Structure 1
Amino acid sequence: MSAAGTVAGLDAGELDRFVTSVLAEDLGEGGDVTSAITVPAHARLKAEIATRQPIVLAGVVLAEAFFRHADPGVHIERLREDGDRLEAGTPILRLEGAGRAMLTAERSALNTLQHLSGIATLTRTYADAIEGTGCQLLDTRKTVPGLRVVEKYAARTGGAHNHRMRLDDGILIKDNHVAIVGSIEEAVRSAKAANTGLELQVEVDRIDQIEPALAAGAERLLCDNMPPAVLREAVALVAGRVPIEASGGVRLDTIRAIAETGVDFVSVGRITQSAPAADIGLDYAMAEVVSEAC
């Protein structure tokens, strides 16, 4: 558990439900048929999980949870921690336990570790690209359905700050809201009148929308799909009155120029939406079959 009493953002109950549902998806009705009919019941395996590429590690405790669920007596030696930058070939976990159980948990553990480490690794690349600018990297709600909490944990591990976790985390008036109510001013007035206590952010995609949004009471701006030259103009116009976030189509080759315009934040959907799985493997270094008589 982390200092906040969670594992990858999940409390104890959520962790149990996550592990149980992921394993159930893989096991189906009949369980691991192949292992059951080929691996002796008393076989014990030793294994090592290692990365095959440079990564930022994320999800190691989640991976452990799958093995512990399948075999409560499994021995696990954790060699690295989430957030560590690892070179190719670095061992992450060493395990010893019931052979059938380890084989049953292997895919779910690896899938999770590969996916979250992939997000953390890509996020770190983006965070490094804007280091020294004073601009903070944000993630978005562009996550795999059902995996938002753990994916945003991985983004945090890689160096991003979480934006809204859910729709109730803050008010973000976007172009569709404005189109429905008729104007930015009316949308902001309605939001202010609700007196929710939540930060009120307004999306703008043109310079001429900024002053109306601020005059109506916007507490933060999201400048959508503005090129760096226009962002610099927006920063100068706002002059520190509210924080500014840049968003929309941000890529690794463009994020530095965006951050250098003076915006406070830049949000990147790609770090969760498009991160490739990290190449992490599990190899059985030694297998031993213990006879039933023993």
Structure 2
Amino acid sequence: MTAAFAPLPDLLLEPLVRAALIEDLGPNGDVTTRAVIPAGTRYHARLNAREAGVVSGMQLAAIAFRLVDPSLAITLHRPDGSLCAPGDVLMQIEGAAASILSAERIALNFAGRLSGIATLTAAFVAQTKGTATRITCTRKTTPGLRMVEKAAVLHGGGFNHRFGLSDAILIKDNHIAAAGGISAVLQAARANVSHMMKVEIEVDTLAQLAEVLSVGGADVVLLDNMDTPTLHQAVTLVAGRLVTEASGNMALPRIAEVAATGVDYISCGALTHSARTLDLGLDF
């Protein structure tokens, strides 16, 4: 089971890469390369995988090289969403050695970070095999990089939760407390939002879940920090009337047993906030 994805337009990604290059090059540019690389030196470089994983960030790496030097010739061998093994060539870059060296770190930072997210997501997805449960990310992303980190989740076979506060109604425990309870908050949500917008509400107990089902007005219920037996009871109680999402303490060793409860989605912030960078390198 994999999620469909398409490349994001370069127009949306270029500002992210440009900002990273400006941060790295600073006011004086690449002083090391300018000092030691003779003008006119040309080279052939390979962006290589040094460990197995799922590739992501190739589009951003290519943009980094092209922003530094549009004349660089870039050949992609492993597109975003593909598997890689140690030693695989993901991309080749030919042209001015100085340009390749100046873009190297930013290209690797994006590719390594996003490939790490895609690889971790794929590990979570593998634990749901044989079930209909989908793995989804959260809003716990690096500020400014949510768009590309969520794309990396798709590359790993996962699915995206809402992108931001404007996508959908997600009523959390603090909303319930401030609004005066489950009944009040659900009635207010339905009274004040478009019929096109989904409403999700978080519950911590089966008693809260029963109240949600009684009041009505929700499309999705987030079953937060429940142990596995309680999750199973919750799915049975819902009986298909709402989309179910399990969240909280969703560590990799637990995913298979949670998926076996029949929940529709498992959301995990660790996909984006705790993924280890995949080891990639640029070799001349």
Relative to the length of structure 2, the TM-score reads: 0.95
- TM-superposition CA deviations, 1:5-41 (whole Å, max 9, x none): x74x3x3432221221110010111110111111111
Paired AA for residue 221 in structure 1: V
Aligned to 2:221: 221
1:119 aligns with 2:117: yes
- TM-superposition CA deviations, 1:229-255 (whole Å, max 9, x none): 001111111111111100001011001
Q: Which runs of 5+ in 1 are unaligned?
A: 285-294
1:204 aligns with 2:172: no
Q: Any residues of structure 2 matched to 1:252-263 within 5 Å, and which?
A: 252-263=252-263
Q: Any residues of structure 2 matched to 1:4-83 within 5 Å, and which?
A: 7=7, 9=8, 11-83=9-81
| Separation in 2, partners of 1:15, 1:271 | 21
| Separation in 1, partners of 2:12, 2:240 | 40
- TM-superposition CA deviations, 1:85-109 (whole Å, max 9, x none): 1111111111111111111000000
Aligned to 1:281: 281
1:150 aligns with 2:148: yes
Identity %: 43
Aligned to 1:166: 164
Aligned to 1:235: 235
Paired AA for residue 29 in structure 2: G
| Separation in 2, partners of 1:65, 1:228 | 44
Q: Let me know the Cα RMSD of the aligned residues.
A: 1.3
Relative to the length of structure 1, the TM-score reads: 0.92
Aligned to 1:89: 87
| Separation in 1, partners of 2:282, 2:106 | 12
- TM-superposition CA deviations, 1:108-135 (whole Å, max 9, x none): 0000000000000000000011111111
Paired AA for residue 199 in structure 1: K
Aligned to 1:289: none
Shift of 1:211: 2.1
- Residue 136 (structure 1) aligned to one of 114, 134, 144: 134
Paired AA for residue 200 in structure 2: Q
| Separation in 2, partners of 1:192, 1:26 | 48
| Separation in 1, partners of 2:177, 2:31 | 55
| Separation in 1, partners of 2:10, 2:79 | 19
2:152 alignment partner, SS class? helix
| Separation in 2, partners of 1:104, 1:263 | 47
| Separation in 1, partners of 2:219, 2:63 | 42
Aligned residues: 279
| Separation in 2, partners of 1:238, 1:105 | 52
Q: Which runs of 5+ in 2 are unaligned?
A: none
Shift of 1:164: 0.5
1:281 alignment partner, SS class? strand
Greater CA drift, 110-119 or 57-66: 57-66
